[in-house]
Amino acid sequence: MKNIQLLNKIAKVGTDIFDRAEYAVGAEITNPDAIMVRSAAMHDMEFGDNLQAIARCGAGVNNIPIDRCSDAGIVVFNTPGANANGVKELAIAAILLASRDIVGGIDFARGLKGTEGVAKAVEAGKSAFAGNEILGKKLGVIGLGAIGGMVANAAATLGMKVMGCDPYLTVEAAWNINHSVQKAATFEDIFKNSDYITLHVPATKETKNMINAETIAMMQDGVKIINLSRADLVDATAIKAALESGKVSAYVTDFPTEEVVDVKGIVAIPHLGASTAESEDNCAVMAAHQLDDFLKTGNIKNSVNFPAISMPHTPGCKRICIFHKNIPAVLAQISGAFSEHNINIENLLNRSKGDNAYTLVETTEVTDAIIEKLNAIDGMIKIRVI
């Protein structure tokens, strides 16, 4: 019996994937084999020896201690694309909110309660909330992954002139982008040539405060900025100064912080990007399938800290899952260890991702001696036998 701990409310359609004859699933689970999480902060959590994997029901993983998990051989999964449509729809709404002061207009109309002649007051006051249309305006999309690509396509369909930039764009993602979307060589091209800029990149050391005083200075006067990715991408002090000067005419973010709430020109949405029933279901289902496959076979898909790897199971064989550092000669030492113990390798597959590597070995015989030999190899992190 394997134990799955739920740190947040996870959609039942996802948790139902786990066969209850094989899994115990619930918030009350202790010392779990795997954890499913949405937004719960895990940096201060202590992990038990049984923990093999963490599945984030969503794309962002900044609530999970990735480095500590990697050092312990804990695979961290996410669910890229599962909530993409929900975020795409909110991004289009955000572009419209940045274009026209819909929020201010609604607040104005709400304040007319009890007023005589509401219709007359509306006609007299509506000019204060006028805006512009998006047809023909230039939209710069930074990040053309699952979400950014969909936003670019939707905006192009609405008549915007779209350019996108993504240094890590995959061939598969490129095939899904509307042919009318122009390729920008650099982020600087986006900054200099866009009426609107929307951010769809993860929060990393490289992207932190990518929108700052220096990059804002490159932009056109009156630019509108959309950030549904992470608060850390935008320097709050710089964006407020730019709004006050008029350099930026509107900033819409899905990540309210103390610095940006109730600031003129900022529309702060309470992290609603993936808050749809469909997104929550899709994320839970994808996360559950990935955990189930990994716990049963050792195959990995959509991990942020270990490589994607999939090897068909050979009947009659046991599978050894070997987590190790991506350093020279480890693979040769693994093969040598089996040869030294006169154990034949039926199948072997190795992949690496950054500093981490993962090797799957299938053999008909697994002994304590071979496991001890493998554990003694320099750079070894963890070994699991299925």
CATH number of the domain within which 315 lies = 3.30.70.260
**CATH number of the domain that 200 lies in?**
3.40.50.720
Residues 89 and 238 in one domain: yes
Q: Is residue 376 part of a domain?
A: yes
Q: Give the number of other CB atoms < 10 A from CB of residue 238.
A: 19
| pLDDT tens-digit readout, 13-70 | 999 999 999 999 999 999 999 999 998 999 999 999 999 999 999 888 989 999 999 9
**204 — pLDDT class (breaks 50, 70, 90):** confident
**Residues 191 and 218: beta-carbon distance below 8 Å:** yes
On average, the pLDDT of the chain sits at 96
Q: Is residue 105 part of a domain?
A: no
**Residues 274 and 83: beta-carbon distance below 8 Å:** yes
Residues 149 and 229 in one domain: yes
pLDDT value at position 92? 98
Per-residue 3-state assignment (H helix, E strand, C coil) for 247-300: CEEEEEECCCCCCCCCCCCEEECCCCCCCCHHHHHHHHHHHHHHHHHHHHHCCE
Q: Would you state the torsion angle of the CA atoms of residues 306, 311, 316, 320, taken in this order, to the nearest 10 degrees? A: -20
Q: Give the C-alpha separation, 289 to 159, whole Å.
A: 38
Give residues with Cβ within 8 angstroms of 200, minimum separation 6: 91, 141, 142, 143, 144, 145, 147, 148, 151, 228, 229
* Mean pLDDT of all residues in 103-125: 94
Q: What percent of the chain has pLDDT over 90?
A: 94
Look up tokens 């049963």; give the residue: 296
| pLDDT tens-digit readout, 283-333 | 999 999 999 999 999 999 999 999 999 999 999 999 999 999 999 999 999
Q: Is residue 114 part of a domain?
A: no
**Residues 282 and 14: beta-carbon distance below 8 Å:** no
Q: Is residue 127 part of a domain?
A: no
The length of the chain in residues reads 386
* pLDDT surpassing 90 at residue 203: no
Residues 233 and 326 in one domain: no
- What would the two tokens of residue 345 be? 């390798």
| CA 206 centroid distance within chain | 16
Q: Is residue 123 part of a domain?
A: no
Lay out the sheet containing 356-363: strands in order across: 347-353, 356-363, 318-325, 380-385
Quote the domain boundaries for residue 227. Answer: 84-98+132-268
Residues 291 and 339 in one domain: no
End-to-end Cα spacing for the chain: 13
Residues 89 and 164 in one domain: yes
pLDDT value at position 274? 86
- The residue among 242, 268, 294 that closes a domain is 268
Residues 223 and 89 in one domain: yes
Q: Is residue 2 part of a domain?
A: yes
SS3 call for 160:
coil
* pLDDT surpassing 90 at residue 166: yes
Q: pTM for the whole thing?
A: 0.80
Bridge partners of 44, per DSSP, are none
Q: Give the number of other CB atoms < 10 A from CB of residue 95.
A: 23
**Residues 231 and 253: beta-carbon distance below 8 Å:** yes
Residues 5 and 137 in one domain: no
Residues 191 and 250 in one domain: yes
**Residues 254 and 271: beta-carbon distance below 8 Å:** yes
Q: Give the C-alpha separation, 53 to 83, whole Å.
A: 21
Residues 179 and 91 in one domain: yes
pLDDT value at position 271? 92
Residues 168 and 245 in one domain: yes
pLDDT value at position 171? 87
**Residues 125 and 181: beta-carbon distance below 8 Å:** no
* pLDDT surpassing 90 at residue 178: yes
Query: Domain tally for the chain?
Result: 3
Residues 226 and 141 in one domain: yes
Q: Is residue 287 part of a domain?
A: yes
Which H helix or E strand runs over 165?
strand 161-165
pLDDT value at position 57? 94
Catalytic positions are 230, 258, 271
Q: Is residue 313 part of a domain?
A: yes
**170 — pLDDT class (breaks 50, 70, 90):** confident
* E-only strand ranges, 180-232: 182-183, 196-199, 223-227
| pLDDT tens-digit readout, 235-251 | 999 999 999 999 999 99
- The residue among 268, 294, 326 that closes a domain is 268
* pLDDT surpassing 90 at residue 385: yes
Sequential DSSP letters for 307-369: --B--PPPTT-EEEEEEEE--TTHHHHHHHHHHHTT---SEEEEEEETTEEEEEEEES---HH
Residues 239 and 357 in one domain: no
